[in-house]
Amino acid sequence: MAMSGGLDSSVAAMMLLEEGYGLVGITMKTWEYAATGTLGKETGCCSLDSIHDARHLAVSLGFPHYVLDIRDEFNHYIVKDFVDQYLKGRTPNPCVLCNTHIKWAALLKRAVQLGCEYIATGHYARIRKEKGRMILYKGADQEKDQSYVLWGLSQDFLRKTMFPLGGFTKSEIREMAKVAGFDDIADKRESYEICFIPDNDYRRFLKQQVPGLEDKTRDGDFVDTKGNFLGKHQGYPFYTIGQRKGLNVAVGEPLYVNKIIPQTNTIVLGTKQGTFKKHFTVSGFNLISLEKLPKELQVIAKVRYKDPGHYATIRLDEQDDRLQVKLHEAVSAVTPGQSAVFYQGDDVVGGGFIEDASF
């Protein structure tokens, strides 16, 4: 049982115990604040308090608990990629990458060593088996559904995974904790920030990770869509597609970041309409609900976590192994580096990383 010390994984552990499963609790240490000088209070799955809370619950419920140190892998694959993506003018989603390549791999490896048959987490998502294939689909609580961040899980991973919370709402889970007498867990606030950036200031984090970054990239040009000079910016890594605030450029109408060109340290500003795109490509595509894509497939596409979804047609370009996505209506801020996840009903067809986008 992957345990963060928070409400969701704690109640998931309680539920599995009630169903008669034998549990081993695992808390993953991904980040060391003191060693890196990261500002802010430790939060989420990395903090000492969270590790203590997870261990306390395991002891209270009578099952063993271990701390799995994956800081080296996490720093190499997740933090380094996070920085590299911004230096390429992209906007990464580290949680997706971590779930796919770090947490599940580390958990399964340890599960095998401990003789466990499955791994379980507190995600709000569901899995079912259909015609020999494992189907990932949305959690019952549409507001808390986390299937979007799990698109990278392979069939092998899904076969060994359990999501005890998938059929419940957040309010029901909170009530379960209270009924069980764990009011302190039930009242815990949720953590939305990136675990290794507790103050939620990614710009400060980039400056800390790349000495001299601000000096090297500041005073680049803001230009309009025709290439006309509009002003100077603070450095291209510190902006994202669709951003409006903090531009400090006045031309009589609101401007938005339309494009980032890292090669020339240039940022293209334009109208809100300029952020809308109808076509984009996807790399690193992982197919879940289907064994093979048909020539074309009608789906609902989500281009960010809280995106309600948009009708789209997808097809695989066999020449470059990228997915071609055509949105039926233009969507704002389709951002390279973010994840695009495709659904049919509640089922996750698959997902990948957004690359170039065009109108």
* Catalytic annotation, pick one of 45, 95, 98, 116: 98
**Chain-centre distance for alpha carbon 280:** 19
In whole angstroms, give the CA distance from residue 261 to residue 224: 13
**Catalytic one of 45, 95, 116, 195:** 195
Tokens 């400060």 appear where?
A: 204
Q: Is 98 a catalytic residue?
A: yes
Distant-in-sequence, close-in-space partners of 171: CB < 8 Å, separation ≥ 6: none
Active site residue 95: no
Distance CA 354, CA 280 (A): 7
Q: Shortest CA distance to 180 belongs to which of 1, 17, 63?
A: 17
- In three-state form (DSSP H/G/I as H, E/B as E, the rest C), the secondary structure along the chain is CECCCCHHHHHHHHHHHHCCCCCCEEEEECCCHHHHCCCCCCCHHHCHHHHHHHHHHHHHHCCCEEEEECHHHHHHHHHHHHHHHHHCCCCCCHHHHHHHHHHHHHHHHHHHHCCCCCEECCCCEEEEEECCEEEEEECCCCCCCCHHHHCCCCHHHHHCEECCCCCCCHHHHHHHHHHCCCHHHHCCCCCCCCCCCCCCCHHHHHHHHCCCHHHHHCCEEEECCCCCEEEEECCHHHCCCCCCCCCCCCCCCCCEEEEEECCCCEEEEECHHHHEEEEEEEEEEEECCCCCCCCCEEEEEECCCCCCCEEEEEEEECCCCEEEEEEEEEEECCCCCCEEEEEECCEEEEEEEEEEEEC
Catalytic residue positions, numbered:
98, 195
